Amino acid sequence: MAKKEKKKKVSAKKEKYAKFHKEKPANMDLSMPDLAPESVKQSREDIERIERWLKMHRNPPTKEVNLRRMLSKR
């Protein structure tokens, strides 16, 4: 008793909207664009400025942590 192979029905909706599904390349090209020396320097300065700001403005510890530290020092 072998099963008969049925042909798959093609949905009318899929057929209608198939033109909108573009084929995508398997590998993505993620190369950075070549920047002018001035823009490279500017971006480096921006990154350094952000890192400096983050170093100085870390999240302060919560009150519970401060209280626990104070009690442990006694």
Cα–Cα distance, 56 to 31 (Å, whole number): 33
Residue 3 has pLDDT above 90, yes or no: no
pLDDT in tens, 22-73: 777 777 777 877 889 999 999 999 999 999 998 888 877 788 888 888 888 7
User: 4-8, 12-16, 46-50: which range is least confident on average?
Assistant: 4-8
Rg of the chain over CA atoms, in angstroms?
30
Is 43:35 a contact under the CB 8 Å cutoff? yes
Can you give the residue ranges of every domain in the chain? 35-74
